[in-house]
Structure formats: structure tokens, C-alpha cells
Amino acid sequence: MIHGEFWISKKRKYITKPDLRIPYNLIGEYRKLDVLQRNMNDLTGPLLVPFNALIMQFLVFAIFTLIRHRHERNLAATLILECAFIGFAIFWSLVLEIAGRHHVADKKVLKSWSFANHGSKFDAKYIMKVRKGMRPMAFGTYGTFIIKRLTILKFFRRVIGGTFRALVALQKKNRL
């Protein structure tokens, strides 16, 4: 809903008043939302990197254990490990997917401002200058870890790669 209201288009029907889409109001309200997002990122951003690594390591451990020790476990331990693996994988993939979609939607909102009819030349020039100076809102810490649309693919690629590296390393160790 937030991205829909800041998206400028003549074909859209908006819930808010049309005064929001006046350049000065639009930029002011968007900046307020941006400050709120950045304050939230100051609290949660530094926690995302260790949490991402922790979940990744757990998923690698779970897959490795399920594959390597499949004949040595009882049924209850296998079910608990499988359920934990599926639960963590679904939870973290949803978090990454929602945050990635938020980033993409915000990039589209900023891009939509360049196609809008702002009335006067001064308003169009003003909104273009401000738009160029803005970063799209994202979850994470800028410069360290930002969740984008491809983050979920990179995450699962690392999980699968880490699992295979562990299995290959253990197999090489057992040969010697």
C-alpha cells in the first residue's frame, strides 16, 4: 500500500488525497518514511548478517547430517531435523523474499517520479534532482548487507555449495 501511494501514474486510483502527489508533499512524506526505515535499519541491520550466517550454517549442518548419517539415526531425530530444516528454510526465504520485493518496489517508485507530469518545469526539475539523490529503501545496513531480490538465490546457492563442499571434504578425509 505504501508503494502504491508514492507511485505516480495517471492510471492509478489512490486512497490518499491528491495533495500527496504535489512534489513538495511527496518528497517530504517519502523522506519521513525513509527516516523511519533507516532508524529501523539501525536497530535490525547489524543483526541481519549474523542471523543470516547462523541460519545458513544450521541449514548446511542439517542437510549434511541428513545425507551423511542417514543410516545411523532413529526416526524421531530424523523427523525433528527435517522439520527444523524445512521450518527455518521457509521462514528465512519468506523474510528474504519480502524484503527483496520491498527493495524492487521502492526502486520502481523512484523511477516513476521521472515519468510523471509535475505541472511546471521547476517542479519537474526539483523532483528529478531530489530523486537522483535518494537511495531506494532496503532492509539491512548500507555498505555491509542489503537484502535485494537476488539475495534469496545467493543464500540457497551458498547453502547447497557449503553442503557439497563439506561432503567432498569429508569423503577426501576418509580416503586418506
pTM of the model: 0.81
pLDDT in tens, 33-47: 888 989 999 999 889
C-alpha cell at 173: 578425509
| Res 176 pLDDT > 60 | no
Going from N- to C-terminal start, the domains of the chain cover 2-175
* Mean of pLDDT values over 51-66: 92
Share of the chain above pLDDT 70, in %: 85
pLDDT for the residue 2: 63
pLDDT for the residue 52: 93
pLDDT in tens, 59-80: 999 998 888 877 777 888 889 9
**pLDDT category of residue 29 using cuts at 50, 70 and 90:** confident
pLDDT in tens, 121-153: 887 788 888 888 888 888 988 888 889 999 999
Output 168 or 7, whichever has higher pLDDT.
168
Query: Considering the chain, what is the average pLDDT of its residues?
Result: 83
* Mean of pLDDT values over 47-53: 92
* Mean of pLDDT values over 166-174: 80
